[in-house]
Amino acid sequence: MKNNFAQRVITAIIFAIILIGGVFWNPISFFLVFLTVVIVGIYEFFKLSVKGGIKPQIIPGILLGIVIYLSNFLVASSYCEQKIFTAYIPLMILIIINELYREKAKPFTNIAFTIFGAFYVAVPFGLLSYFVFEPIFSENYMPYILLGYFFLIWSSDSGAYIVGSLIGKHKLFERISPKKTWEGFFGGAAFSLLAAYILSLFIKQVSLVDWIVISLLTVVFGTFGDLVESLLKRMVDVKDSGHILPGHGGILDRFDSILISAPIIFIYLLYVLN
């Protein structure tokens, strides 16, 4: 138990240094860090799908994910116009046509999981590009809002774990995630709201009220993201999505809160703060 805890702490520290350093350094390091996350995350999704008897097109799916992520980065940083998004169409058509020649069982399920897996992972991380170019659709690189968003997620996760471990009794969604409790959920919300107040003192581009709203959206939809990823793992009866992060599992395990909450926060930033 002690060795596992030490392993988790060391992994978390190294992970945080790489992530924060990559985001803070410059746009290129930001791009490379999350490009790696996208590639590994999609690969993990496809490996889980294979365990469930599905045969996704791994290489074409990863290429589609890369294009989704890259195109959002280029549009957010004002290097390309939004018509670059039309590149998705021929790639998806090629995936459909390619399935004709694979002679695999459940061809339409394979196509669906290939395309969905790419979008499920790449879209949220592609949208993170808009968090760092302030204002949205500007070439000015400002990583502070994104780092604040991560701080909210980590605060929520820590609060949920601490409070849930100490007093958690009422199950939040036992069928999918037996360890999650309502006490942990509200504990995570309290920690996240405290983090929102702290962020408002240092990141003045966002008001306290907006940080509170972003915090609440992050807690609610981050929890849904966690549950959806747990549902995927339960479908194939595995504990972790991968083993790339010792003591923490895979990339999807570490970023599950982002997969659902990032698109919601993007919408809030676009229509409320822009």
Please state the domain count of the chain. Answer: 2
Instruction: Provide the pLDDT confidence category of residue 4 given band limits of 50, 70 and 90.
Output: low
Average pLDDT over the chain, rounded to an integer: 91
Taking CA atoms, 247 is separated from 33, 57, 61, 186, 269, in Å, by 20, 29, 28, 25, 34
Q: How many CB atoms lie within 10 A of CB 127?
A: 22
3-class state of residue 173 by DSSP? strand
Is residue 10 assigned to a domain?
no
Does the residue 236 lie in any domain? yes
- Position 52 in a domain: yes
CA–CA gap between residue 49 and residue 205 (Å, rounded): 41
Range of the domain at 226: 141-274
Final residue in a domain of this structure, among 110, 136, 162: 136
Shared domain for 147 and 267, answered yes or no, is: yes
Q: Which two tokens stand for residue 81?
A: 């116009």
Last residue of a domain, one of 136, 167, 187: 136
Residue 102, pLDDT score: 94
Encoded tokens for 151: 């701080």
Residue 191 has pLDDT above 80, yes or no: yes
pLDDT at 25 > cutoff 80: yes
Classify 149 as helix, strand or coil.
helix
Q: Is residue 16 part of a domain?
A: no
pLDDT band at 1 (very low <50, low <70, confident <90, very high): very low
Q: Does 21 reside within a domain?
A: no
Mean predicted confidence (pLDDT) in 180-188: 95
Question: How confident is the model at residue 56, as a pLDDT?
Answer: 96
Q: Which of 119, 136, 153 is the last residue of a domain?
A: 136
